[in-house]
Amino acid sequence: MDFPILRPFILLAVLSGYPAGQTLQAQPENNNQPTPAAPVDEGTLNIEQTLPLFESLELPSREALLNGEKIDWIVLIGGKVIQTPAIYPRPDHQQWLLNKQKYMQDDRPTDAALLEEWLAKYHFYDYIFLTIDDKTAEEEFRLHTRYISEILYHEELCLRKTDTFLAAGDLLHAQELIAYVKRQEFLNNERRVKERLEPIEWPGLMDRERAFMAAEVRAALAESNPEKAFSIIRRRFDLDPKDPQHEKLLTATLELLASQCYEKYDYRRLRHYLVQTELLLPKLPAIKQWRDDLGRRADQSLKEAEQNYRNKQFRNASLLAQQAILIWPFSSQLLRQSQQFQEPYQILTVGVTRDESIETSLRHTIRDHQWFTIQRLATGYPRIESPFLESWIPEDLGLKIQIQFALQPRPHEARPSLNAIQFSQLLKQKTVLAPDASLDLFAQNITSVRVLSPALLEVELSQQTPHPLNLLAAVMRAYPGESQSLLQDQHFPLASPSTLPFESPGEHFVRVDFNPQKGARNVAEVHLREFELEEELLRSVLRDELLYLPETPHRYLNRLRSDQRFLTANYATPRVSSLAFRLEGQLAEHPELRLALFSMIDREQIAQELRQYTASTTSLTSITESICPSSSHARMATSYATSFDELAGRALYEIIRHKPGFPTAITFRVPPTRSGRFIAEIISKQWQKLGLTISIVHEDPSAEQIATDPSQAVDVELLEYVIAAPQFELPALLMQGKPFTVARLASLPTYLRSTLLDLEHAPTWESTDNALLRLQDQLVANSWWLPLVEQQRFATYRREVRGVPAIQIDPLSELDEWSLEPVVPQY
């Protein structure tokens, strides 16, 4: 049942237990002088019904409290309630009246005439004045304070409604009402200051804010989200540090947090929140409780490491010792004791994103032996070396080479023994014993292979070569699917060790024939972890979970460089992205279409959008005019690169599209990398403007699929490559990693075939450079190849990683020589 408020009709005269005329009195129209009011007769008031009892009233709805008129409840002695528009001052109206009378006591006159006037003013403050509007006239009535039990201001009604929402678990509506009262408190105090009244905190508001905070924390804990609970407490702690609930709520939050951290072996997270809690309540007993527990767990882990070490379980001993430091890194004694268990079996943790271009080659680098590696670039020219060779000596003006083999590996090297006899057998299979039709490019330059001793091999050449080991590296290249047992021996093969419960998921590559008892103090295992997102990769690095990043996202370079725990190294060879049409594809007979497609590509737009996508800069991502990288001796800007001219491309396409056998669909192979997919999307949108159907694939279809449906054959591909020895790596790119046999060489256009033969027989670096420049010009001028952008590459590793080459060509170069110092978490 709804009860009326004092507007338009006020039911004041008939009050249970109060004679009419004694409770409310009408004020004269001229009430400038506070004179006593005459008693009011019941008949002078428009009485429709009696006032409601407090017990029969329900709190107003949330909508009425927030959006309706502000209504105060005046509760009379006896339980009757007067609902009136908001009175002022508030929320201390009765105290304000008493203060007014108190201030008048010092001015009480003794003269009878003045005393009567003073008493009239004094008793003026015995009343609360209420306005009645009955649509015909507006009158003021006054209510003596002695009849008032309490005043429930509109804001107090909001707070009591808040209590009901909190009890029902409706935090959203409770928060709305608390925020509303907070706003009204601010506005009320602004007015009080203007009227020279002291600002006042609204009674009960802080209690509701505390109750709301406690309810929020309990809800977050019920959701198993202790971080959210802690954030709520910390935010409230700055505003109300004396809240007695903080200790109890923080204790419950730490308890839930500890259980989650122990379950996930995430001790760093628990330590972090213990430090944060200490900043709030340094003497909280729970802080000491969990720190002591962490210390006990660390000691227990170290004891287990010692037991495993005695049982010659070196891997488990190393991991348990490392785990002890991760649990509690603040004990110097613990650090000293754990070091002796980690040194014999060192584990390098490496992190990559799942679609990273380096991912596939990285596994090959870790797993397989690198028989010939580029150790350095001298003015762009590769210097290839091999850990299996001690020396090589040119004779007969470089037409005969004597190669001395290192029969036994050095103590830190994880490789099998290789002698001249074994190597000669493999070399002969690819050169002098191979049929002429299957000879690869550069192979026919070797005319004789002789074993002089188990450690000495002699190789005769038909003509001079700029660098003999470069030639051997080109000839001994292992192509996909090719069986070469010795060359495919592994030094860190993929293994499945019995992992401990706290180990992170990933692939484990364990060094072959590793025996810690022989005094080895190098990396024994590589733990490769994949991450879906770059943000997850960065988070893991900053949490001391990764020691090496073979590829560092450009967006995080400055962040990692500013952290003293890490070192970033720029690779000597950047990554180049180029667009290449297949020499054997359906577009081989359509040079005008290739030109039209290249004309549609805006390389400046690609570079600019790629910089925005990777948060890079011009110095890190730039347009390239050469197929070879800027670090190479073969980087020569070609003047034949097709310029962006969309209008010309559209016009050319319209001229040639009516030719017989003209293709209307193109299969576009794209590397499954972030940058590759991003660039391909820009290119595809431009080509689709011509009306072509673009099918994007990430892998070459099988021969059976092509035989069934020739349209599935790849026509054009986006290449992302890193080459340091373009003399033989660029021809391999041209053939998509397949052997450059005589038949394939004969199928090429005459100008390309002639240039490749010149490259094969080039006797000096100068002639090699001339052949490479001519090869690039021919590919670009005939619209086979279009260089797009070049991106600098960076590796990041912890300072505790030792033996990393100062100049890096490939990731994990010289991994055999790497060693680790125990890593102590920073937090």
Task: With beta carbons less than 8 A apart as the criterion, state whether 551 and 356 touch.
Answer: yes
Say what the pLDDT of residue 376 is: 84
**Region of poorest pLDDT, from 208-222, 778-792, 812-826:** 812-826
CATH superfamily of 371-475: Dipeptide-binding Protein; Domain 1 (3.90.76.10)
- For residues 625-640, give the mean pLDDT: 90
Binned at pLDDT 50, 70 and 90, residue 669 comes out as very high
Q: What is the pLDDT of residues 411-426, one digit of tens each?
A: 777 777 888 998 898 8
Say what the pLDDT of residue 35 is: 43
Say what the pLDDT of residue 517 is: 64
Provide the CA 30 distance to its chain's centre, in angstroms. Answer: 74
Tell me: pLDDT of 189 over 50. yes
Tell me: pLDDT of 295 over 90. yes
- For residues 578-607, give the mean pLDDT: 93
* Angle between helices 285-310 and 332-342 in degrees, nearest 10: 30
* Closest to 706 (Cα-Cα) out of 796, 582, 557: 582
Say what the pLDDT of residue 481 is: 54
Tell me: pLDDT of 449 over 80. yes
- For residues 289-313, give the mean pLDDT: 95
User: What is the distance between the alpha carbons of residues 578 and 789, in angstroms, rounded to a whole number?
Assistant: 7
- For residues 755-771, give the mean pLDDT: 93
Tell me: pLDDT of 5 over 70. no
- For residues 759-779, give the mean pLDDT: 93
Tell me: pLDDT of 771 over 80. yes
- φ/ψ (deg, to 5) at 123: -75, -10
- For residues 167-195, give the mean pLDDT: 93
User: What is the distance between the alpha carbons of residues 441 and 771, in angstroms, rounded to a whole number?
Assistant: 14
User: What is the distance between the alpha carbons of residues 657 and 669, in angstroms, rounded to a whole number?
Assistant: 23
Provide the CA 636 distance to its chain's centre, in angstroms. Answer: 38
Q: What is the DSSP letter of 435?
A: -
Task: With beta carbons less than 8 A apart as the criterion, state whether 640 and 681 touch.
Answer: no
- For residues 673-693, give the mean pLDDT: 93
Say what the pLDDT of residue 813 is: 86
**Region of poorest pLDDT, from 333-337, 353-357, 425-429, 496-500:** 353-357
Tell me: pLDDT of 407 over 60. yes
Spatial neighbors of 214 by CB under 8 A, at least 6 apart, are: 245, 249
CA distances from residue 806 to 263, 526, 568, 802, 814 in whole angstroms, order as listed: 41, 21, 11, 11, 11
Tell me: pLDDT of 16 over 70. no
Helix ranges restricted to H, 311-462:
314-327, 332-342, 358-367, 420-430
The more confidently predicted of residues 357 and 552 is 552
Say what the pLDDT of residue 488 is: 55
Say what the pLDDT of residue 86 is: 87
The ranges assigned to domains in the chain are 1-196, 293-342, 346-360+491-572+794-820, 371-475, 575-791
The more confidently predicted of residues 376 and 579 is 579
Say what the pLDDT of residue 756 is: 93
Say what the pLDDT of residue 12 is: 38
Binned at pLDDT 50, 70 and 90, residue 482 comes out as low
* DSSP letter for each residue of 268-328: HHHHHHHHHHHHH-TT-HHHHHHHHHHHHHHHHHHHHHHHHHHTT-HHHHHHHHHHHHHH-
- For residues 527-544, give the mean pLDDT: 92
The Cβ of residue 321 has, within 10 Å, a number of other Cβ atoms equal to 28
Q: Copy the structure tokens of residue 319.
A: 């991991």
**Region of poorest pLDDT, from 32-46, 579-593, 599-613, 806-820:** 32-46
β partners of residue 717:
580, 669
Say what the pLDDT of residue 11 is: 37
**Region of poorest pLDDT, from 279-293, 341-355, 787-801:** 341-355
Q: Copy the structure tokens of residue 583.
A: 């020499």
Q: Copy the structure tokens of residue 652.
A: 């050319």
Tell me: pLDDT of 19 over 50. no
* DSSP letter for each residue of 19-50: -TTTSEEEPPS--SS-PPPPP--GGGS---SP
Q: What is the DSSP letter of 351?
A: E
Tell me: pLDDT of 41 over 70. no
Tell me: pLDDT of 219 over 80. yes
* Mean pLDDT for all residues in the chain: 86
Say what the pLDDT of residue 18 is: 41
User: What is the distance between the alpha carbons of residues 433 and 475, in angstroms, rounded to a whole number?
Assistant: 13
- φ/ψ (deg, to 5) at 368: -100, 155
Say what the pLDDT of residue 359 is: 64
Radius of gyration of the chain from its Cα atoms, rounded to whole angstroms = 43
Say what the pLDDT of residue 131 is: 65
Q: What is the pLDDT of residues 604-629, one digit of tens each?
A: 999 999 999 999 898 999 999 999 99
Tell me: pLDDT of 13 over 70. no
Tell me: pLDDT of 775 over 90. yes
> What three-state secondary structure class fits 3?
coil
Q: What is the pLDDT of residues 75-84, one digit of tens each?
A: 998 888 888 8
Task: With beta carbons less than 8 A apart as the criterion, state whether 465 and 394 touch.
Answer: no
Q: What is the pLDDT of residues 494-533, one digit of tens each?
A: 888 888 999 988 999 998 877 776 666 789 999 999 998 9
- For residues 808-812, give the mean pLDDT: 88
Say what the pLDDT of residue 576 is: 95
Burial of 758 per CB tally in 10 Å (0-12, 13-18, 19+): middle
Binned at pLDDT 50, 70 and 90, residue 486 comes out as low
Share of the chain above pLDDT 90, in %: 52
- For residues 472-498, give the mean pLDDT: 72
* Closest to 579 (Cα-Cα) out of 715, 772, 748: 715
341: left (phi over 0), alpha (psi -120 to 50) or beta: alpha
Q: Which sign does the torsion angle of CA 321, 324, 330, 334 carry? A: negative
The more confidently predicted of residues 602 and 661 is 602
* pTM for the model: 0.79
* Closest to 783 (Cα-Cα) out of 632, 593, 541, 606: 593
Helix ranges restricted to H, 406-556:
420-430, 468-475, 534-542
Provide the CA 301 distance to its chain's centre, in angstroms. Answer: 31
CA torsion, ordered 301, 307, 310, 314, to nearest 10 deg? -40
Say what the pLDDT of residue 519 is: 64
- φ/ψ (deg, to 5) at 116: -65, -40
User: What is the distance between the alpha carbons of residues 753 and 570, in angstroms, rounded to a whole number?
Assistant: 36
* Closest to 779 (Cα-Cα) out of 638, 655, 648: 638
Task: With beta carbons less than 8 A apart as the criterion, state whether 775 and 755 touch.
Answer: yes
User: What is the distance between the alpha carbons of residues 461 and 551, in angstroms, rounded to a whole number?
Assistant: 39
Say what the pLDDT of residue 357 is: 54
User: What is the distance between the alpha carbons of residues 784 and 581, in angstroms, rounded to a whole number?
Assistant: 5
In the chain, how long is the greatest CA-to-CA distance?
141
**Region of poorest pLDDT, from 40-54, 252-266, 534-548, 725-739:** 40-54
Tell me: pLDDT of 695 over 50. yes
Instruction: Tell me the residue type at 330.
Output: F
The more confidently predicted of residues 427 and 42 is 427
The more confidently predicted of residues 78 and 137 is 78
User: What is the distance between the alpha carbons of residues 423 and 420, in angstroms, rounded to a whole number?
Assistant: 5
Task: With beta carbons less than 8 A apart as the criterion, state whether 727 and 759 touch.
Answer: yes
User: What is the distance between the alpha carbons of residues 257 and 269, in angstroms, rounded to a whole number?
Assistant: 9
Burial of 43 per CB tally in 10 Å (0-12, 13-18, 19+): exposed
Outline where DSSP puts E strands in 191-298: none
Please report how many Cα atoms fall inside a 13 Å half-sphere around the Cα of residue 191, on the Cβ side.
9
Q: What is the DSSP letter of 443?
A: G
- For residues 19-38, give the mean pLDDT: 43
Q: Domain 346-360+491-572+794-820 carries which CATH code? A: 3.40.190.10
**Does 3.10.105.10 match the CATH number of domain 575-791?**
yes
Say what the pLDDT of residue 740 is: 80
